[in-house]
A and B are shown apart, each in its own frame.
Chain A
């Protein structure tokens, strides 16, 4: 770049401004902007003794310079209002001092300087820094220089503003992305420890901190639950009452606090002697404070509003996650309690069931033994009585014969009752044994009907058997079929005084249907429902008279169902009854 002589004419100024404008505005990075300004100064001003000081709080700090003796000294600053530069910063007005020796405000930093030009750099009317030119000559700076430097300062201000906006925008984007990532991390855990760890990791990337502590309220007091920059012992003993210290205050009021200088905070309670500034943000759920996010720094003024907003947003997410974790824990412990109760109940049930099974077995075994043991005396009684009754041991009279018949019948009834009880037990314990073989219903019924017919004739009743031409062979247990038929026919005989009994068989596509009809007393509709229940004798008197056990139909129903069939009845009181049952034609062999 060629070194120009300034203020030749107005065209020159515009040319310079155009070029500098382009240069300054070509970047959004403040450091580059300042570097470019220095470059421009070295090109356009002869003196080259340029400096730019930025106003930070009450101090003007050297940010860019040419030929400055204190450049690079981080401790160097000019207090606001001191010297020519400090005055310009304080007033916001430029100063052109032709002879510094005559100005009391002048502080000599550069040696052998005689004139000085200083203009404020303002953003939105507020001074953010000062451009400063010095010269070893008296009255070195003219009106043109003032105009040019002012114009440069304005351009620089715009560039800095843009750069700051951009940085703020870029920071926000970064923070938003961080917030999003942390949200994912925080919400990916259902345990408080994991949530707090994710919270610490995210915030530590963003903050200028020396220590961070997350405190949660438990029984009306804050206790540190996680932290960075602390030992585990320090975390364990870190606690505060509501209203006590910065954290306690935040917990009590529910409002965040930034303490830029802890020495000036009257309610500050020292945790670490190195802490200079502190920021505390409430962690709230549903408007209620559940904890405090506290961050401390060993430097003054470490936290700004952006930090506060960022941590507040993070805390909101954390609050939801913590609440979820608490709920999850509750559910977990509830589910544990529930599981325990279910286990206990299951064990009790299992024990009860085992006991029941045992008792049921004892009952079945008992009945079985009783039934078998009774066979021998029954056999003797029935056998000897029949010998006597039939006159095998000598002649007897008609009344003797009748009485012996009663002994015989009642003995058999007693035995049947036990036998039925045993059958019911077997059915209930699922121990009934079935042997399914090819079964010829035609042959069976022809043979069986002879017995039935004989019994009907003995009672003065008619008997008829109606069969189709052919009956297909089915799989069935012959003994069980005999038991079913005997039960139905003996019931019909018991309750029929006149008329007769009819057995009919129909061949259906999937079943054989067998009907046993009588012209007996019949059964009311209400009683029909009870008929197949155990110990249900619809007409108890009639049944007793007829010698029933009340178990026959319940057993019959179960035997029919074991053959894949159904049993039902149709009846009108006074008009007889019809019992109908079906037998499946599709049973396999040896179904047990």
Chain B
């Protein structure tokens, strides 16, 4: 999986650092963004293979960001893995084209995260 580019979006610096570390240690090329708007900008500029998107963020939350990414032809096809609670995900995903989207609940173990990412990138 080395060489694949993953964008991690989270407003919590500790989580951002954790996810980045886990992914980087597995050889992924990691780009960081600390908010929804920054995430969208970086997604357009860097064209990552996958986006790990946190839900609970101030200003623009993960759902709004996902909606915008899915609406833009330039980023539409990038798969998104959201970090959220199950209920949050199921509830809010209605109304968003959820193609190539999944979620992982916090708190998660690194193996769980890596397994999901593998599934996405393989498919």
Contact = CB atoms under 8 A, between A and B. Distances in A.
Given A372-B56, A387-B21, A378 B107 contact: yes
A376 B91 contact: no
Contacts of B115: none
A375 interface: yes
A559 to B, nearest CB: 13
A379 B107 CA distance: 4
A433 interface: yes
B15 interface: yes
Interface stretch (B36-44, B71-79, B82-90): B82-90
Contacts of B87: 433
A260 B120 CA distance: 120
B12 interface: yes
Q: How large is the interface on B (under 10, 10 to 19, 20 to 34, 35 or more residues)?
A: 20 to 34
Interface string B11-23: 0101100110110
A384 interface: yes
B123 interface: no
Interface string A384-412: 10110010100000000000000000011
Interface in A517-569: none
Nearest to B84: A375
B110 interface: yes
Contacts of B107: 375, 378-379, 381-383, 411-412, 415
A386 B109 contact: yes
B106 interface: yes
B91 A380 contact: no
B56 A379 contact: no
Given A372-B85, A387-B21, A392-B25, A379 B106 contact: yes
B106 A375 contact: yes
A384 B25 CA distance: 13
Contact of B90 (A378, A382, A384, A435): A435
B100 to A, nearest CB: 19
B110 A376 contact: no
Nearest to B86: A479
A379 B110 contact: no
A411 B108 CA distance: 12
Sorting the interface of chain A by its residue count into under 10, 10 to 19, 20 to 34 or 35 or more gives: 20 to 34
Contacts of B12: 376, 380
Q: Which of A375, A411, A435 has the most CB of B within 10 A?
A: A375
Nearest to A390: B110
Contacts of B25: 392
Given A372-B85, A387-B21, A380 B14 contact: yes
Of residues B21, B86, B107, which shows the largest number of chain A Cβ atoms within 10 Å of its Cβ? Answer: B107
Contacts of B106: 375-376, 378-379
B95 to A, nearest CB: 15
Contact of A376 (B15, B86, B109): B15
A68 B42 CA distance: 143
Interface in B1-51: 12, 14-15, 18-19, 21-22, 25
Nearest to B113: A383
Given A433-B91, A479-B86, A382 B22 contact: no
Contacts of A381: 107
A382 B56 CA distance: 19
Nearest to A483: B86
Nearest to A431: B87
A387 B110 CA distance: 8
B90 A383 contact: no
Interface in A413-443: 415, 433, 435
A384 B18 contact: yes
Contacts of A387: 18, 21-22, 110
B35 to A, nearest CB: 15
B33 to A, nearest CB: 17
A380 B14 CA distance: 6
Contact of A383 (B56, B86, B91, B110): B110
A384 B13 CA distance: 13
Contacts of A390: 110
A433 B93 CA distance: 14
A384 B83 CA distance: 17
A382 B109 contact: yes
Nearest to B21: A387
B18 A380 contact: yes
Interface in B94-117: 106-110
Nearest to A412: B107
Contacts of A412: 107
Contact of B18 (A372, A379, A415, A479): A379
Contacts of A433: 87, 90-91
A323 B21 CA distance: 94
Of residues A376, A435, A479, which shows the largest number of chain B Cβ atoms within 10 Å of its Cβ? A376
Question: Which interface residue of A372, A411, A479 has the most chain B CB atoms within 10 A?
Answer: A372
B48 to A, nearest CB: 21
A378 B56 CA distance: 15
A415 B108 CA distance: 11
A379 B15 contact: yes
A384 B16 CA distance: 12
Given A380-B15, A383-B18, A392-B25, A375 B110 contact: no
Interface string A341-374: 0000000000000000000000000000000100
Contacts of B19: 383
A390 B21 CA distance: 13
Interface in A65-102: none
A468 to B, nearest CB: 30
Contacts of A435: 90
A435 B90 CA distance: 9
A411 B90 CA distance: 26
A382 B108 contact: yes
13 contacts: A372-B85, A375-B85, A375-B107, A376-B15, A378-B107, A379-B15, A379-B83, A380-B14, A380-B18, A383-B109, A386-B109, A390-B110, A392-B25
Q: Which 4 A-B pairs have the closest CB atoms?
A: A378-B107, A375-B106, A379-B107, A383-B18
Given A382-B109, A411-B107, 4 more contacts: A376-B12, A376-B15, A383-B18, A383-B22
